[in-house]
Amino acid sequence: MLMTILQTRQLLYYMHTVLLFKVFVLVAALVILIWIYLFVKDFLLHRGVFYYVVQKFWSSSIPGPVKYLTALVFAGNLVVISLAIPRYPFYDVGMYRHAKDFNYRDKICSELKYYYWQGNQYKIINLRKEASFFLAEHFGLGYTADMAYSMTYFHKGDKENFEFLTAQLKEQGIDTLWVGVQSVNFNTREVTFDPDICHAIALNQGTDLYYGPIYIPKYQMERCDE
Amino acid sequence: MSNDKKENILIRLEQPGSVHQLAIFRILLGLEIVYVSGSHFFQYLLLVPDVAYNKDIFPGFINQWVDTIAIPYLRPITLILGVLLTAGFLTRYLLPLLSISFFLLFSFYYSRHNAPHPWLYIWFPLLLLNFSRCSDALSLDKSLGLVKPLSDAASPVYRWPIELIAGWMVYIYVAAGVSKLLPLYNLWHWLHGGTSQEMLYHRFLHSNYFYLFNRPLFDYTHHTWAFAVLSIASVCIELFCIMILFTRRYNLIIFYLIMGMHFILYLTGVLGFMQLALVLSVSLINPLYFERLFIKQDPKVFQV
C-alpha cells in the first residue's frame, strides 16, 4: 500500500479525480499508521520479526564493517524499490515495470535489418544473434548482449550506430550494407526476407515501427531514387 | 541435515562454510568481470548519442571525471584486476582497487545505457569479497604462500559471505517480482500477459528462438492465455525466491525454476541474466558438497 502511494506520480491529481483511489489512499494511510505503531511498539518491547532480525544480525560474528555495509545497501535498495526511482548503484530491478496491453493483431510483423551481398546471395546481419557465443557469425566475445540490444533497438536510428557496425564489418571484408525487410507471418508461421531496398525505405517511413525507424545509408536512398 | 535445511539465513551465517565454495565464487565473479569489462560496448557508448538520462548517487563533477577516464583507464584497469581476481593473485590488495574501478566504470555504463543491466548486480558481492578470505583456496596467493588459510576449511568465516550473496540474490529476484506488481493498479496489466505477448511478438525476428528454429512456436497474436501464464509464472518464481531467506529446503527447486525462466528469456533474446544467475547460484549450494568434492573427508564433520 505504501509503495503504491509512493510510486504514484501525480498523487494529488488522482486523489481529486478518482474517488476509488481517494478511498484507497485514506484506508491505506490508516493501515500504514497502525502498522507503524505496532512495528515500533514491538521493537521497543524487544519482540517481533524486525527485532529478531536486527538483534540476530547485529550479534552475528560477521565483521563490523560488513554489518554496516549490508544495512546501508539494504536501506538504499529499499528506498529505490519503494519509490521506483533507481539511483546507481541502488536499483529497483524494474526492467519490466511498465506493463502494457497487447494491441497488435496484425498477422504479419516486419523488421528492418541490415544485409550484404556475398556473390549472388544476400546475408542478413542478425545483430542479437551475434551476442550469443554459440550462434555468432561475425563478432567475437567482446560483442555482449547489452551491446546487441542497444544496436538492435535503442540506437538503430543513429548514424553513429551504422558507422560503428560498418567499421566492425569492414575488418571482415564486408564494405556495403543495405537495409531489407524481414517478415514473419504468424498465421502460416513462415518467415521471409525481401532485399528490395526501396521497400525497406518505404516501410521505414511508417509510424508503427518498434523502437522507431532504422538508419538507412545515403547510398541506398540514392540507389532507390535512380 | 534436515534441521540445517530449515534454518533461516541469520542462523546460517554462523554455520560451517566451505573455503572452496567461496573460492569458486571468487573465480566465477572474476570471470564475469573480465567478460563484461572486455566488451566493446564501452567504446560504442562513447560514439552513440546519450539517450539514457539515468542518474546515480555521485555528484556531477565525479561523473564528468568518470566520463573522461572511463574508457582509456578504468576499462583496462578493471579488466586486468578482474583477471588477477580470477587467478587469486594479491587478492587482498587488488579487491579494494577493483571495487572502486568497477563502481566508477559502471557508473559511466549505467548513465549511458537504458536497458536491462545484468552487470549492475555484481557490485555488492564484489564489495563483500573485500572483507572475506576468498583467496584461501584455488588461488595463486595460496600456492605462493602469500596467504595462510585457516586450519578449518569449513570455518563459518567462509560461510557468511556466501549467505549474504544468497540474500543479495533474493533481493534481485524479489525486487523484480515486486516491481511488476506495483503500483497495485498495474497488477492487472502484468498478469494479463500483454507485456510478454508484445515482447515476444515484436522481438521474434531478433530472438534466439527464431535463429534456432526459423519459425514461431505458435501464432503470437492469439493464445493470450499462454502469455498470461508466462507472466504469472515469472512473478511467482521471482517472489518464491524469498524462501531462500527462511530455508534451504527449496534451493534446488528455485535454481531449476530460475534457470528455466532465464532459458525462456534467452530464447526470446534477453541474454546476460542467465550467467549472472549461474554465478550467484553458487551461494545456493550446500557447502558440504564442495568439501566432498575437494577434500576426501568424513562429511559428518561439516554437520552442525
Per the CB < 8 A criterion, the answer to whether B251 and B262 are in contact is: no
Domain spans of chain B, in order of start: 18-143+152-158, 163-286
Global ipTM: 0.87
Same domain, A56 and A148: no
Is B116 within 8 Å of A146 when comparing Cβ atoms? yes
Is B38 within 8 Å of A53 when comparing Cβ atoms? no
Q: Write down the pTM of the prediction.
A: 0.89
Going by their DSSP bridges, the two strands A121-124 and A108-118 should be labelled as antiparallel
Same domain, A47 and A153: no
pLDDT digits (tens, 9 = 90+) for B150-172: 888 899 999 999 999 999 999 99
- Is the peptide bond preceding residue A89 cis, with omega within 30 degrees of 0? yes
User: Which residues of chain B have a CB within 8 Å of the CB of A55?
Assistant: none
Per the CB < 8 A criterion, the answer to whether A149 and B39 are in contact is: no
Q: Which residues contact B92 (CB under 8 A, 6 or more apart)?
A: B135, B141, B147
- List the domain range (segments joined by +) for residue A7: 2-60
Task: Give A86's DSSP letter.
Answer: -
Q: Which helix (H) or strand (E) holds A168?
A: helix A159-170
- Is the peptide bond preceding residue B183 cis, with omega within 30 degrees of 0? yes
- In chain B, the N- to C-terminal Cα span, in Å, equals 8
- Chain A residue with the nearest C-alpha to that of B222: A105
* Separation between Cα atoms, residue A40 and residue A82, nearest integer Å: 20
At A141, list the grid cell. 566475445
Report, as ranges of residue numbers, the positions in chain A whose pLDDT lies below 70.
104
Q: Which residues pair with A185 in a beta bridge?
A: A108, A190
- Chain A residue with the nearest C-alpha to that of B174: A93
Is A96 within 8 Å of B185 when comparing Cβ atoms? no
Is B44 within 8 Å of A151 when comparing Cβ atoms? yes
Helix (H, G, I), strand (E, B) or coil at A88: strand
* Separation between Cα atoms, residue B178 and residue A136, nearest integer Å: 35
Residue in B7, B22, B40 to test binding to A, most A beta-carbons within 10 Å = B40
**Closest CA of chain B from A115, distance in Å:** 14
**Closest CA of chain B from A210, distance in Å:** 7
> With 0-12 CB in 10 A as exposed, 13-18 as middle and 19+ as buried, what is A204?
middle
Report yes or no on A206 lying in a domain: yes
At B114, list the grid cell. 537504458
Q: Can you give the pLDDT at residue B255? A: 96
At B80, list the grid cell. 586486468
Report yes or no on A149 lying in a domain: yes
- Chain B residue with the nearest C-alpha to that of A160: B48
pLDDT digits (tens, 9 = 90+) for B196-250: 888 889 999 999 999 999 999 999 998 889 999 999 999 999 999 999 999 999 9
- Nearest-by-Cβ selection for A100 from B13, B40, B189: B189
Per the CB < 8 A criterion, the answer to whether B183 and A82 are in contact is: no
**Closest CA of chain A from B142, distance in Å:** 22
Residue with cell 588459510: B149
Report, as ranges of residue numbers, the positions in chain B whose pLDDT lies below 70.
1-6, 116, 272, 296-304
> Taking Cα atoms as reference points, which of A128, A74, A90, A166 lies closest to residue B208?
A128
> Taking Cα atoms as reference points, which of A129, A127, A132 lies closest to residue A165?
A127
> With 0-12 CB in 10 A as exposed, 13-18 as middle and 19+ as buried, what is B133?
buried
Cβ pairs A/B, distance under 8 A: 234
- Nearest-by-Cβ selection for A91 from B120, B178, B197: B120
**Closest CA of chain B from A124, distance in Å:** 11
CA distances from A188 to B34, B112, B143, B211, B216 (A): 44, 40, 62, 18, 9
φ/ψ of residue B136, rounded to 5: -75, -10
Q: Which residues contact A87 (CB under 8 A, 6 or more apart)?
A: A76, A80, B55, B56, B57
> Taking Cα atoms as reference points, which of B9, B31, B81 lies closest to residue A70?
B9
Is B47 within 8 Å of A145 when comparing Cβ atoms? no
Number of domains in chain A: 2
**Residue A183, Ramachandran bin (φ over 0: left; ψ between -120 and 50: alpha; else beta):** beta
Q: Which residues contact A162 (CB under 8 A, 6 or more apart)?
A: A114, A177, A215, A217
Per the CB < 8 A criterion, the answer to whether A112 and A204 are in contact is: yes
> Taking Cα atoms as reference points, which of B153, B150, B125 lies closest to residue B27?
B125
Which segments of B133-175 are extended strands (E)? none
- Nearest-by-Cβ selection for B205 from A98, A107, A184: A184
Per the CB < 8 A criterion, the answer to whether A80 and A87 are in contact is: yes
At A172, list the grid cell. 571482415
Same domain, A112 and A221: yes
Same domain, A116 and A53: no
Same domain, A21 and A116: no
Question: DSSP assignment of B71-112, as one string?
Answer: IIIIHHHHHHHHHHHHHTSSHHHHHHHHHHHHHHHHHHHHHH
Per the CB < 8 A criterion, the answer to whether B158 and B18 are in contact is: yes
Same domain, A47 and A113: no
Q: Can you give the pLDDT at residue B303? A: 46
Q: Can you give the pLDDT at residue A207? A: 74
Question: DSSP assignment of B21-71, as one string?
Answer: HHHHHHHHHHHHHHHHHT-THHHHHHHS-------BSS-HHHHHHHHHHII
At B187, list the grid cell. 497488477
Same domain, A112 and A220: yes
Same domain, A53 and A112: no
* Separation between Cα atoms, residue B15 and residue B261, nearest integer Å: 31
Q: Can you give the pLDDT at residue B302? A: 46
> Taking Cα atoms as reference points, which of A149, A156, A148 lies closest to residue B49?
A156
